[in-house]
């Protein structure tokens, strides 16, 4: 059996995880699994799950481990994840990392790529971020699509995320330090951690990731 390319993309909010995952997903033909995207889609579709999590997301809190673990377990049962996946925003706690190991079994996480960015940079990026509600493409507030409110790729509405407000950004960054930063140690101990400087152009970060994957014989 060929081994699956299961990659965890770690990094503070605004480090560029979503942008890199979209590119890598197209290159390696594996799905981009973002628990944040799954939860936002549920809110937009007004499902039971959406109602349950809406206020938690708006305040920048964390949804329970049990709930997101179940979502990820279900997602991995879909056929497109048979060759692996790019995980973005999951795991976010040690409990979730352990659950992920259990979900994946022997053919588990191959690498954890940590996109390292200074707090000032991500605070600025998050407050200026605009996103297409249809395709998820990310813009800056000064981009034409952001000022016109229409996505240049799919024509969908370009909005500011409900949790990209100053209070919510502060809360999310502090939860990152408390709950998610310990994951660096978790993956380092297992010899799976690579840290990259995310304060570079999108192309430069993508090129570095591709080089590391090739050097490690993962692609």
Active site members: 17, 92, 129, 161, 172
CB of 76 to ligand AMP, least distance (A): 14
Helix-helix angle 35-44:65-76, to 10 degrees: 100
CB of 96 to ligand AMP, least distance (A): 6
Among the listed residues 22, 42, 172, 205, the single contact to ligand AMP using CB under 6 A: 172
Among the listed residues 4, 92, 130, 137, the single contact to ligand AMP using CB under 6 A: 92
Contact range with ligand AMP by CB under 6 A, out of 88-96, 99-107, 121-129, 189-197: 88-96
Taking CB under 6 A as the rule, does residue 163 contact ligand AMP? yes
Name 125's Cβ contacts closer than 8 Å, sequence gap at least 6.
14, 16
Binding letters toward ligand AMP, positions 95-124, x by CB under 6 A: -x----------------------------
- What residues are paired with 114 via a beta bridge? 10, 195
Q: How far is CA 13 from CA 74, 126, 130, 139, in A?
A: 24, 8, 14, 15
Taking CB under 6 A as the rule, does residue 56 contact ligand AMP? yes
**Residues comprising the chain, all counted:** 219
For 216, counting Cβ atoms within 10 Å of its Cβ (0-12 exposed, 13-18 middle, 19+ buried), the class is: exposed
CA separation for the pair 84, 142 (Å, rounded): 36
Residues that bind ligand AMP (CB under 6 A): 13, 35-36, 39, 56-57, 60-63, 68, 89-90, 92, 96, 163, 172
């Amino acid at each position: 059996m060929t081994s699956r390319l299961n990659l965890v993309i770690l990094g503070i909010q605004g480090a560029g995880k979503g942008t890199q995952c979209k590119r890598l997903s197209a290159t390696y033909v594996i799905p981009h699994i973002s628990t944040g995207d799954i939860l936002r889609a549920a809110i937009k579709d007004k499902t039971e799950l959406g109602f349950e999590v809406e206020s938690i997301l708006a305040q920048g809190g964390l949804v329970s481990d049990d709930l997101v673990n179940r979502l990820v377990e279900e997602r991995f049962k879909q056929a497109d994840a048979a060759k692996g996946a790019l995980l973005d925003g999951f795991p976010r706690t040690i409990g979730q990392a352990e659950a992920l190991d259990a979900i994946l079994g022997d053919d588990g996480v191959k690498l954890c790529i940590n996109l390292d960015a200074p707090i000032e940079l991500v605070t600025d990026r998050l407050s200026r971020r605009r996103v297409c509600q249809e395709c998820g493409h990310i813009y800056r507030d000064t981009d034409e699509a952001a000022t016109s409110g229409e996505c240049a790729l799919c024509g969908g509405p370009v909005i500011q995320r409900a949790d990209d407000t100053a209070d919510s950004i502060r809360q999310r960054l502090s939860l990152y330090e408390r709950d998610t930063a310990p994951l660096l140690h978790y993956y380092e101990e297992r010899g799976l951690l690579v840290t990259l400087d995310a304060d570079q152009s999108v192309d430069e970060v993508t090129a570095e990731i591709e080089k590391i994957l090739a050097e490690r014989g993962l692609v």
